[in-house]
Structure 1
Amino acid sequence: MEPMWPNVPARDGKTRSSKQRDRQRQIAETVIAEGTIRIDDLADRFSVSSMTIYRDLDELEAQGVLRKTRGQVTAQASSLFESNTTFRLNQNQDEKEALAHAAFELIEPGQAILMEDSTTGVYLACLLPQRAPLTVITNFLTVANEVAREPGITLHILGGQFYGWCDAMMGGATIDAIRNLRADTFITSTSAIVDDVCYHQTQDTVLVKRAMFEAAAQRILYVDHTKFQRRALHALLPLTDFDVVIVDWLTPKDHLKRLRQHGVEVIVAEPLRGSGRADARELG
């Protein structure tokens, strides 16, 4: 039985608040691993009341870790909700790795690279030391941590308001910092593509990405095939505004044909697993 008062030690030596944090961490890990789960099943699994599980879920939802919907809880994205970084990192890993390798081939030593909070960028960040010296400018702490100790990488971390769900800085201060910089290349992804326009769930994300787009000489978009199946609320930019669009090998051919007809340079990233090497096919 849980103690009545917030910080009274339980029999196992833990306070109520520490037990709650542990349980919420386990709940988050469970939902992220399974994608979607019934709330009643979660209460049974953790042997707590419905009131307790809803209180935990309310806190996790406020943190942007998950969302409640019709008796279920999910870590999956919707048109208004973007999944948190941990969940996104574990989705479509093969496709993201292939996209990152294809983008890596477009980077040259000595360049300044703008990177935002797309999780494909984490895969790309792992490759960047091979192109050193480079300057990496990012608002994404996950990418910053990946390259921070690399001797050939000069790292600029953009300030601003921190958003835990995406592990990134956003807001007016971030945008002001970007506007004072000029980079060689901006590499980005998007949450959804509708009618050949990139969309995101939050306007804050859109504003930061637009500022980065304007601050770079070359603009590269990489997206896996699932982005063509999703919807989101806020428009970012049309695909035709990018210098290069990199897609994965599972992207339907009708999308590729339409992009080529609009004059978009398209690179199809082929799967790496099994071949053991990066292989990107450019469609002229």
Structure 2
Amino acid sequence: MAVDDKSAIGRVAAQLIQPGQVVFIDGGTTSAQLVRHLPWDLQATVITHSPSVAVELSTHPGVEVIMLGGRLFKHSVVGVGSATVEAIRQVRADVYFMGVCSVHPEAGLSTGDFEEACVKRALSAAAAETIVLASPEKLATASPYQVIPLDELSGLVTMASVSEEILAPYRKRGISIHLA
């Protein structure tokens, strides 16, 4: 996906965060774009298992950052494992912004690593809403390890260039679509 697409998706996702919320933000390059687009006057708490996201927010004056520990999964530069999952279980977040490999109408949300899927599943379970950040090439695809079924997804942020034919199954399931 082009950097411009990731930036546009991040900009739209950042607008969905309300002052005072407790927000889980996943790792990945699109999540990094989300935090770069947070309003400078936003007062919120961001909880992340991504050192990159935490560092990006280190100079944001109104965002409290809470890091989740665990074993560093170098491929995605995020914490994984039982320590990460246990820390997640101690939190009730308003919203979770998930980065994922694949979003499929029947297979749901999935990724290519078993432990990463477990952490994403725990983050989703501990949040009132889950919103996925998905570039067009991730839609209508499936990866080996399911994170959550599509019915557990609240919203989807993707590009306006995605055809209505591809978006229709998600709309039909009642998922809010936010186009960048």
Normalising by the residue count of structure 1, what TM-score does the alignment of the two structures yield? 0.60
1:130 is matched with 40
Paired amino acid for 2:146: A
Partner residue, 1:258: 169
Is 1:239 the equivalent of 2:144? no
What is the CA–CA distance in structure 1 between the aligned matches of 2:101 and 2:137, rounded to whole Å? 9
The one-letter code matched in structure 2 to 1:134 is A
- Other structure's SS at 2:139 match: helix
Indicate the structure with greater helix content.
Answer: 1
* Cα distance in 1, alignment partners of residues 109 and 11 from structure 2: 22
Distance 1:217 1:195 in 2: 21
Specify the alignment match of 2:90 in structure 1. Answer: 180
Query: Please, which moves more after superposition, 183-192 or 230-239?
Result: 230-239
- Taking the aligned partners of 2:154 and 2:140, their CA distance within structure 1 comes to 23
Q: How does 1:3-82 map to 2 (within 5 A)?
A: none
- When Rg is computed on C-alpha atoms for both structures, the one with the higher figure is 1
Q: Where in structure 2 are there 5+ consecutive unaligned residues? A: none
Residue pair 1:138, 1:158 contacting (<8 A) in 2 also:
yes
How far off is 1:131 after superposition? 4.8
Contact kept, 8 Å, 1:249 with 1:268, in 2: the verdict is: yes
1:210 corresponds to: 121
Contact 2:109 2:150 in 1 (8 A): yes
Residue 162 of structure 1: CA displacement?
Answer: 1.3
Q: Which amino acid aligns with 2:73?
A: Y
Distance in 1 (CA, whole Å) between partners of 2:93 and 2:146 is 23
Residue 199 of structure 1 pairs with residue 110 of structure 2? yes
Identity between Structure 1 and Structure 2 (%): 28
Count of residues in correspondence between the two structures: 179
C-alpha change, 1:156 and 1:184, in structure 2 (3 Å) is same
Residues 14 and 35 in structure 2, CA contact (< 8 A), matched pair in contact too: no
Q: Deviations over 1:174-230 (max 9, x none)?
A: 000000011111111210133441110001111111111111112211211010264
Q: 1:238: Cα distance to partner?
A: 2.6
1:73-105 deviations in whole A, cap 9, x for unaligned?
xxxxxxxxxxxxxxxxxx421111111111111
Give 5+ residue unaligned stretches, structure 1: 1-90, 270-284
The Cα offsets for residues 10-49 of structure 1, whole Å up to 9 and x where unpaired, read as xxxxxxxxxxxxxxxxxxxxxxxxxxxxxxxxxxxxxxxx
Structure 1 Cα separation of the partners of residues 28 and 98 of structure 2: 7
In the superposition, relative to structure 1, how do residues 134 and 188 fare at CA in structure 2: closer, same or farther (>3 Å)?
Answer: same
- Contact kept, 8 Å, 1:160 with 1:169, in 2: the verdict is yes
TM-score, with normalisation over the residues of structure 2?
A: 0.92
Residue pair 2:140, 2:166 contacting (<8 A) in 1 also: no
2:79 aligns with: 169
Distance in 1 of aligned mates of 2:166 and 2:57? 34
SS of the aligned residue for 2:161 comes to coil
Aligned equivalent of 1:155, options 57, 60, 65: 65
User: Is the Cα contact below 8 Å between 1:221 and 1:244 reproduced in 2?
Assistant: yes
Higher relative contact order (CA 8 A, sep 6+): 2
Structure holding more strand per residue: 2
